[in-house]
Structure 1
């Protein structure tokens, strides 16, 4: 039953899934979405990798504790009021940033962000995530996760393209 699905232990998710570019396909909450940003991967990466600077362009998240950004290093952050303990799985500058995380002590997630250079110096950013935990689907859904990803990608696009937040609002 998906409502009770707890998923693999976080250690297994980290080593056998996240580090190998995989999500938990059995997770009840999943999302994958992309956006093309009119900026080179180097500029987009700088925004993503400067996690302490997220509040300058990202209104939904901030980092509480961050050490070195490398595989197996841990960090703590907060997104929309939820405290998360995370561990980097893949850190490939200008290509991929992936981590695993635990929220509320039992919700486990794999977050994967990939950057792909496109024509004319643009960058396609793809966010993929899987989340599992008993009873998770009673208060969270794939649609809500996707909405959060789409909001974050719009904020990233606005910052990378050098526009003001007011310029990025839908009309």
Structure 2
């Protein structure tokens, strides 16, 4: 029953799902959203990967603790005030930044941010996420997750098209 679905253990989600480019397809809350950004992939990657500067373009998130940007490195952040402990799964510059995370001790997520250069020099950005936890669907659903993703993509697109990522690309 989806209402009580807790999902695989976080370690399994990390190793067998996120690191292999998979979401938890059984998770009751899932979303995929994309946008085409009028900026090159290196500028978009810089905005996404410079997590200490997320709050300069992303009003909903703030990174609290961040070490190295590499698979299995941990980081802590806040999303709309909720504390999240995460671990990078895939760090492929200009292509993908993915992680697993846990919040409130019982919610587990896989987040993937993928970038694909287009033939005309723009960048297609796709955010995918699966979210599980017992009773999660009583207060959160896929439509709400999708709205959040679309807002992140809107903020990313605006920052990249203002040249914000280009200012720091290559650094």
Q: In the alignment, what sits opposite 1:139?
A: 139
In structure 2, what is the Cα distance between the partners aligned to 1:105 and 1:50? Answer: 27
Q: In the alignment, what sits opposite 2:161?
A: 161
- SS class of match (1:94): coil
Q: In the alignment, what sits opposite 1:9?
A: 9
Q: TM-score when scaled to structure 1?
A: 0.95
Q: Deviations over 1:15-36 (max 9, x none)?
A: 0000000000000000001000
* Alignment partner of 1:69 is 2:73: no
- SS class of match (1:42): helix
Cα drift, residue 9 of structure 1: 0.1
In structure 2, what is the Cα distance between the partners aligned to 1:132 and 1:144? Answer: 14
In structure 2, what is the Cα distance between the partners aligned to 1:88 and 1:3? Answer: 28
- SS class of match (1:119): coil
In structure 2, what is the Cα distance between the partners aligned to 1:140 and 1:104? Answer: 14
Which ranges of 4 or more aligned residues in structure 1 deviate by more than 2 Å?
Answer: none
Q: CA RMSD in A?
A: 1.0
In structure 1, what is the Cα distance between the partners aligned to 2:55 and 2:109? Answer: 22
Q: In the alignment, what sits opposite 1:48?
A: 48
In structure 1, what is the Cα distance between the partners aligned to 2:44 and 2:96? Answer: 11
- SS class of match (1:58): coil
Q: In the alignment, what sits opposite 1:167?
A: none
Q: Which runs of 5+ in 1 are unaligned?
A: 165-171
Q: Deviations over 1:63-117 (max 9, x none)?
A: 0000000000000000011100000000000000000000000100000010000
Q: In the alignment, what sits opposite 1:32?
A: 32
Q: TM-score when scaled to structure 2?
A: 0.95
Q: In the alignment, what sits opposite 1:23?
A: 23
- SS class of match (1:105): coil
